[in-house]
């Protein structure tokens, strides 16, 4: 029997690429998404559930899949407050992991961020660090945490930090060599591809991947 997937954040940059990848991958026979906003994509393998994510418990059976992918996230600017930020980057992922564990999903894969640490002096990294600790505590066969530095890709919204990193990585690629390799921006498309590959490989344990590892895979493929 083929694998089944649930993607949260499928309308986002990483989540959008992941959705495309997984729909085209014949290892997956069904793909589900839960989203607060309308998703235009139609595909014979795709089931879409539109709801406020604080209501995820109402559709808990949707979490009964092989792999749950969480690509949710917001920015302080969009969230408007620390509390609203934590709702998206901590509370929803934890609720998703809880429901996935209770519904016996095999694997949980989540996008975190470089520098995630419960002890960080930066709020963003602290929230990601706490999310990671909590997610790791659930009894999945596999927990996979992906920590990109800056993400590259075309998004509708302009984000100065991402644009600057993109220009630097194209014009001055030598900046991200040696010890600074892990700071190199990574294509959102590459993160998505890496996530899908790890899910299909299906190893048991807790795994954390940094940007340089995701970038390395891309370079191997190009050589
Ligand atoms: N951007 C970077 O450079 C960077 C760097 C390191 C790590 N990360 C992390 O990587 C992950 C993916 O980033 P991304 O850039 O692909 O994200 P993105 O494009 O901003 O997409 C975020 C997703 O989360 C959903 N979402 C946001 N707020 C929500 C809410 N209140 N209720 C329900 N859904 C909500 C969005 O849905 P809607 O379409 O409905 O808004 C969208 O599907 C995030 O966790 C982010 O923190 C990003």
Query: What percentage of residues in the chain have a pLDDT greater than 70?
Result: 86
Local confidence band at 219 (pLDDT 50, 70, 90 cut-offs): low
- Domain boundaries of the chain, sorted by first residue: 3-156+186-222
Mean pLDDT over 141-167 rounds to 82
Residue 113 pLDDT level (bands cut at 50, 70, 90): very high
What average pLDDT does this structure show over 19-23? 97
Cα of 1 to ligand 1 centre, how many Å? 31
B/e letters for 86-117, b = 16+ CB within 10 Å, e = fewer, are bbbbbebbbbbbbbbbeeebbbbbbbbbbbbe
- What length does the chain have? 223
Q: Report the chain's C-alpha Rg in angstroms.
A: 17
Q: Mean pLDDT score of the chain, rounded to an integer?
A: 91
Lowest-confidence region among 17-31, 82-96, 177-191, 194-208? 177-191
pLDDT tens readout for residues 58-99: 999 999 999 999 999 999 999 999 999 999 999 999 999 999
Please, what is the Cα angle at 146 between 109 and 119, to 5 degrees?
110
Ligand 1 site: residues with CB under 6 angstroms?
9, 11-15, 35-37, 53, 71-74, 88-89, 111, 113, 148, 150-151, 155, 162, 188
pLDDT value at residue 13: 96
Q: Report d(CA 165, CA 65) in Å as an integer.
A: 36
Q: Whose CA is nearest to atom 14 of ligand 1?
A: 13
Residue of 12, 161, 185 best suited for mutating to test ligand 1, as the one with most atoms within 8 Å of CB: 12
Mean pLDDT of all residues in 201-219: 88
Confidence of residue 222 (pLDDT cuts 50, 70, 90): low
Query: Angle, nearest 10°, between helix axes 13-24 and 188-201?
Result: 50
Superfamily of segment(s) 3-156+186-222: NAD(P)-binding Rossmann-like Domain (3.40.50.720)
Which of 36, 23, 30 has its CA nearest to residue 3? 30
CA of 167 to the centre of ligand 1 (A): 22
């Amino acid at each position: 029997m083929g694998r089944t997937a649930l993607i949260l954040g499928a309308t986002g940059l990483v989540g959008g690429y992941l959705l495309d990848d997984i729909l085209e991958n014949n290892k997956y026979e069904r793909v589900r998404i839960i989203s607060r906003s309308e998703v235009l994509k139609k595909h014979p393998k795709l089931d879409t559930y539109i709801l406020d994510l604080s209501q995820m418990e109402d559709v808990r059976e949707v979490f009964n899949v092989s792999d749950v992918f969480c690509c949710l996230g917001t920015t302080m600017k969009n969230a408007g407050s620390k509390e609203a930020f934590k709702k998206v980057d901590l509370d929803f992922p934890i609720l998703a992991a809880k429901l996935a564990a209770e519904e016996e999903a095999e694997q949980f894969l989540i996008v975190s961020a470089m520098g995630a640490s419960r002890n960080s002096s930066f709020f963003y990294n602290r929230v990601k660090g706490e999310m990671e600790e909590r997610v790791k505590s659930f009894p999945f066969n596999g927990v996979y945490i992906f920590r990109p530095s800056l993400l590259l890709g075309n998004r509708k919204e302009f984000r100065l930090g991402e644009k600057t990193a993109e220009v630097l990585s194209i014009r001055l690629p030598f900046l991200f060599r040696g010890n600074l390799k892990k700071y190199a921006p990574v294509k959102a498309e590459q993160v998505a591809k890496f996530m899908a590959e790890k899910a299909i490989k299906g190893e048991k344990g807790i795994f954390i991947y940094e940007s340089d590892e995701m970038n390395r895979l891309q370079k191997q493929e190009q050589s």
